[in-house]
Structure 1
């Protein structure tokens, strides 16, 4: 059994303790959840943690304007501008470039080519791609689709970066190719329970890491997202 002494902190308070100290470096993780569940904030906290540790990190947007994402994060961490201005947290808006180059939805291959250039040129160690659903397959055959996605994920791993792929997931009973190919899946939830809205996080899958797959309480605080090692259904005092 291979043991991993080095870990990558998620930057989300309370989460590292649930996954044996953090993520395994150089792997690709999927962050999924419904709209408004905190996926982008979750990803930005991951990048900011790396920037604080002196790493070079990158947020790659395929739809949203990265500058707007930064503005949203200021309320949680005003220091984000310092990291952006010193190129510790780099912003890349690939959406307009990829759409201009092709009349169809950007493909895994075209996105990976751009990402490889960015990672190698800038020596990036942490990466967030948001959202994964902006990329489509040129093939219709399910087998070929899985092959293309496998090449995309393997390509990211070969670059040596620890990466988050952010994606929407509304139907929790429906799984697609990326769920089987990534090293880990982190689900963010929100739902009504006894007349109140609660948030939760679920470590659905984490290869090589012992983890608890049960729902844990997740909260938005003035410092961003925080995970609590307890059920979200517990009555708070």
Structure 2
């Protein structure tokens, strides 16, 4: 039987594509999660810059922090980020002030999707990073309705044809929420104390239609940004 070849796009992170059969499936939504300081935003910026370098129009959507702060952080590793922002290949959207001003309540999935849909369609966006997902709260309490609301959000992004990263804080590494099950893939970044040193690692928990590695792989910040090495972080001891 002939094997079906699936189109893939690069994550832009050195060493990561090799763990997921060459990259991500276009037009799908992926969850990027982990504790503070693990490298989530940097990984998201690598993903966007990879698209910009290929001539795509990409967008970073911030729900809390000024998106220019993420650009300044990335300039340490890749000064071209400023060039792509200046040429409008990499668009920055600060939705935080708008969404919080619209209501006394925490922004909802529906209000965020409405804004993103407008922007993505007007600008013909192909890659999107939403940071942080945990700034959005459910407007309802029923667990079943919560899952349905998030499912509509994920489906709405996929209907736009964009490949999206949803960045979320995760301090309890054993607690999984609805987005873990609804996203097409889950990449978890770890940041933990090992022999009196803080060590970073990457783990692919889930990747639909992909034969992927499942172990912990050492992640390091280099002069060019975040890189994944094909060895266990415990070998560093």
TM-score (norm 1): 0.97
| Alpha-carbon distance between aligned partners in 2 of 1:180 and 1:55, rounded to the nearest angstrom | 29
SS of corresponding position for 1:234: helix
- Say whether the 8 Å CA contact 1:4–1:24 is kept in structure 2: no
Hey, what does 1:192 align to over in structure 2?
A: 193
Hey, what does 1:164 align to over in structure 2?
A: 165
Hey, what does 1:76 align to over in structure 2?
A: 77
Hey, what does 1:8 align to over in structure 2?
A: 9
Superposition CA RMSD, Å: 1.2
- Which 10-residue stretch deviates more, 192-201 or 104-113? 192-201
- Say whether the 8 Å CA contact 1:215–1:232 is kept in structure 2: yes
Hey, what does 2:95 align to over in structure 1?
A: 94
Q: Quick one: structure 1 residues 2 and 112, their matched pair in 2 at CA, closer, same or farther if it must change by over 3 Å?
A: farther
Structure 2 counterparts to residues 12-31 of structure 1, below 5 A: 12-31=13-32
**1:145 paired to 2:156:** no
Q: Quick one: structure 1 residues 160 and 4, their matched pair in 2 at CA, closer, same or farther if it must change by over 3 Å?
A: farther
| Alpha-carbon distance between aligned partners in 2 of 1:186 and 1:77, rounded to the nearest angstrom | 22
Q: Deviations over 1:143-178 (max 9, x none)?
A: 000000000000000000000000000101111111
1:3 is displaced (CA, Å) by 3.5
SS of corresponding position for 1:202: strand
Hey, what does 1:52 align to over in structure 2?
A: 53
| Alpha-carbon distance between aligned partners in 2 of 1:80 and 1:147, rounded to the nearest angstrom | 36
| Alpha-carbon distance between aligned partners in 1 of 2:135 and 2:126, rounded to the nearest angstrom | 23
| Alpha-carbon distance between aligned partners in 2 of 1:126 and 1:4, rounded to the nearest angstrom | 22
How many corresponding residue pairs? 236
Structure 2 counterparts to residues 214-233 of structure 1, below 5 A: 214-233=215-234
SS of corresponding position for 2:233: coil
- 5+ residue gaps, structure 2, are none
- 5+ residue gaps, structure 1, are none
SS of corresponding position for 2:235: coil
